[in-house]
Structure 1
Amino acid sequence: MLGIYLHIPFCIKKCNYCDFVSMEREEPMDAYFHALGTEIKMTGRMYERKVDSVFFGGGTPSFPPAQYITGAMDALRRAFDVQEDAEITLEANPCSLDAQKLREYRAAGINRLSIGLQAAQDRLLAMLGRQHTRGQFERAYGLAREAGFSNINIDVIYALPGQETTEWEDTLCFATEKEPEHVSAYALKIEPGTPLFRAVELGEAVPADEDTDLAMYHMAQDVLEGKDFTNYEVSNFAKEGFECRHNLKYWNVRDYLGLGAAAHSCMDHMRFSNTEDVEEYISNMKAGKLRYASSELVSEKDRKLEYIMLKLRLKNGFSFFDYKSRFNEIFPEAFSREMGRVVSLGLAETDGRGLYPTKRGFDLQNQLVSLLIQNL
């Protein structure tokens, strides 16, 4: 089964911490979605695979008029064998959702929303450059439930400059009170080239230190697990049966196809990506040519590295049987010394059938992976 990601690069305003490919101009919207439709049609001829997950990311996919998204869904169904029970996710910002849009999304088969809350305090939302308030989030979330969405993720961010521990706890409590099916809790990364990065350079914002970062992560685990969420991936928590099926494709190292500007794909051990330049992407599609900005055949060594790195982000780790079926190698024999080391350090555990990260392994992901691959 194939997962398809569609990149929608339009935003009301780019957030202060965002380094994703996005734009605040609306002029190329018609041309962009026409180009996306062209790419959908072209790739549908190339990959005759059943599709069980679709993910609209961005940018802000909920920003364009709903007709663009529903049109893309129609095009996908014409070009690909999208399964009736496919998980179809749309990322959304609270200020760009309304009752009519939500009804149209549901009618188009979109059955999962990922709504960006990020923080429950308006002062922190303003610092992040978010275009919504706590109150707007509450309204949007309520409208989503009224529209019939029964699978909603709430995105929150911790380790923000100036964020108090009590504010993070309030954000977690506010989010869980809404009774979502899924919560994604990410530590803020201050990326070069963003307004927030420049603010840090100028001394106008002070990043959280490592101890605060870790304490807030542990608070998220305690609060969310106390509300019956499972920490199934380092930064992701779900009620039983509501793990994000699309993102699990990445972590389980399955094939996925990325469509739209800046979208990345990995199909049959081949990685390739579209240009990040929206105008160039539109031009390529007008010419009817898939001109990838980069492509490479993934070596077996890199495949092993990626497998170990991604699989150990999951609470369930990986089975030795699965590893052998992919690489024709017995993991406990090939990595005997390294595996013994991470187990002795309490970073992972084994039952003889597989390797699984511990909570300490979640805390020290880089160390866990580095120790395992040091001789790869």
Structure 2
Amino acid sequence: MLGLYFHIPFCIKKCAYCDFVSTGQQSKIAPYMHALQKETELIGGMYNKAVDSVFFGGGTPSLIDEDYIGRIMDTVRRLFKFREDAEVTLEANPCSLTPGKLAAYQKAGINRLSIGLQAAQDQHLKTLGRQHTVAMFDEAFGMAREAGFENINVDAIYALPGQELAEWEETLFHILHKKPEHVSAYALKIEQGTPMARMVADGEITPADEDTDVRMYHMAQAILGNKGYTNYEISNFAIAGYECAHNLKYWNLKDYIGLGVSAHSCIERLRFANTENIDGYIKNMGKGALRYEQSDFIDDTERKVEYIMLKLRLKKGFLLYDYKSRFGEDFLLTHAQELKKACSEGLCVVKDDCVMPTKRGFDLQNRLVSILIENM
């Protein structure tokens, strides 16, 4: 099975914390989408695998004209072995959704939306540089339900500068009142080179401390867990049966193709990525050239490290027989000392032939992984 990711790098305005490849230059939408269509046509048919997940990410995919999304989906159906029961996700900003767009998405085969709330207080949205208000989110979520979407994720960010525990609790309950099928809750990371990093450097805002970060994460686990959401991945919570199939491909080391500027792909042991320059990407596609900015062959050691790192982001961890079938070695024998150390620190357990992270292991995932791979 194959997953397809389409990067739509356009926004009304780049958020203060965002370090993804995105731009507010909407004059480039038409040439870029023409280039993305061209790349889809060039890639189509190259891989003899059924496509069972599609993800439109960004940027803000809901910003562009909905006809572009429809054309891409038509091309996917025409050139790929597309499964009609595939999960097809589109990321959306509340202020760019309309009933007309939502109807067009339904027609195109989009069956899952990911809507960014981030915080239930307008002052925090302003600090983040978001272009919507809480009221706009409420309206957008209602429109999505009225349009017939039965699989909706809501994004939220915690550990914001100046955010109180009570405000994070308010955000969680605001989300729960909507009854989405999936919630993604991420701790804010202030990346170098972003406007928010400059705000910190200038003393305009103060980042949350580590203790607040952990307390807010535990609050999300408790509140969402009590309402039936399983913390199936470190930052993701879902009602049973609504786990994100596309993102599970990344964590389970399945094959995926990324199309668009800066998009990454991984097919078996080959990893490759497009240029991060939007103009360069448009130029390459204008020449009909699949020119990847980087490509790497993943050796055994690197693959083992990736396997452990990604699998232990999942609540269910990894099966010992799966590890052995992939790498030809018994993890209990080859990593006995490392596993003993991780278990003694309460970071993981071995249960039902699985190595599974504990709640503490989720908190200290970097520590867990570093122990298990220290002798690789």
Q: Which residue of 2 aligns with 1:14?
A: 14
Q: Which residue of 1 aligns with 2:295?
A: 295
Mapped partners of 1:70, 1:48: distance in 2: 23
Mapped partners of 2:82, 2:34: distance in 1: 20
How far does the alpha carbon of each residue in 1:173-198 deviate from its partner, in whole angstroms, 9 at most, with x for none?
00011000000000000001110000
Say how many residue pairs are matched.
376
Q: For residues 97-112 of structure 1, what are the structure 2 equivalents within 5 Å?
A: 97-112=97-112
Give 3-state SS (helix, strand or coil) of 1:27's partner. Answer: helix
Q: Which residue of 2 aligns with 1:180?
A: 180
CA offset at residue 81 of structure 1?
A: 1.1
Q: For residues 108-119 of structure 1, what are the structure 2 equivalents within 5 Å?
A: 108-119=108-119
Mapped partners of 1:74, 1:10: distance in 2: 21
Mapped partners of 2:128, 2:115: distance in 1: 16
Mapped partners of 1:135, 1:119: distance in 2: 11
Q: Say whether residues 1:160 and 2:160 are aligned partners.
A: yes
Q: Which residue of 2 aligns with 1:224?
A: 224
Q: Which residue of 2 aligns with 1:76?
A: 76
* 1:28 alignment partner AA: K
Q: Say whether residues 1:150 and 2:150 are aligned partners.
A: yes
Cα RMSD for the two superposed structures: 0.6
* Further displaced range: 205-214 or 341-350: 341-350
Q: Say whether residues 1:212 and 2:212 are aligned partners.
A: yes
Give 3-state SS (helix, strand or coil) of 2:179's partner. Answer: coil
Q: Which residue of 2 aligns with 1:353?
A: 353
Mapped partners of 1:42, 1:319: distance in 2: 37
Q: Which residue of 2 aligns with 1:125?
A: 125
Mapped partners of 1:223, 1:352: distance in 2: 28
Mapped partners of 2:212, 2:98: distance in 1: 36
Q: Which residue of 2 aligns with 1:25?
A: 25
CA offset at residue 351 of structure 1?
A: 2.0
Mapped partners of 1:47, 1:279: distance in 2: 27
Give 3-state SS (helix, strand or coil) of 1:204's partner. Answer: coil
CA offset at residue 352 of structure 1?
A: 5.4
Q: Which residue of 2 aligns with 1:365?
A: 365
Percent identity, aligned pairs only, is 61
Structure 1 ranges of 4+ moved more than 4 A: none
Q: Which residue of 2 aligns with 1:92?
A: 92
Mapped partners of 1:353, 1:290: distance in 2: 43
Q: Which residue of 2 aligns with 1:281?
A: 281
Q: For residues 50-61 of structure 1, what are the structure 2 equivalents within 5 Å?
A: 50-61=50-61
CA offset at residue 28 of structure 1?
A: 1.6
Mapped partners of 2:118, 2:64: distance in 1: 21
* 2:249 alignment partner AA: K
Mapped partners of 1:353, 1:202: distance in 2: 51
* Further displaced range: 42-51 or 118-127: 42-51
TM-score, normalised relative to structure 1: 0.99
* Further displaced range: 172-181 or 66-75: 66-75
Mapped partners of 1:121, 1:66: distance in 2: 29
CA offset at residue 48 of structure 1?
A: 2.2
Q: Say whether residues 1:65 and 2:52 are aligned partners.
A: no
How far does the alpha carbon of each residue in 1:150-192 deviate from its partner, in whole angstroms, 9 at most, with x for none?
0000000000001011100000000011000000000000001
CA offset at residue 45 of structure 1?
A: 2.8
* 2:302 alignment partner AA: D
How far does the alpha carbon of each residue in 1:30-72 deviate from its partner, in whole angstroms, 9 at most, with x for none?
1111111111111113212100000000000000011111111
Mapped partners of 2:88, 2:242: distance in 1: 13
Mapped partners of 2:173, 2:235: distance in 1: 17
Give 3-state SS (helix, strand or coil) of 1:199's partner. Answer: helix
Give 3-state SS (helix, strand or coil) of 1:91's partner. Answer: strand
- Unpaired runs of 5+ residues, structure 2, are none
Mapped partners of 1:112, 1:207: distance in 2: 33
Give 3-state SS (helix, strand or coil) of 1:46's partner. Answer: coil
Q: Say whether residues 1:375 and 2:358 are aligned partners.
A: no
* 2:19 alignment partner AA: D
Q: Which residue of 1 aligns with 2:248?
A: 248
How far does the alpha carbon of each residue in 1:225-258 deviate from its partner, in whole angstroms, 9 at most, with x for none?
0110000000000000000000000000111100
Q: Which residue of 1 aligns with 2:193?
A: 193
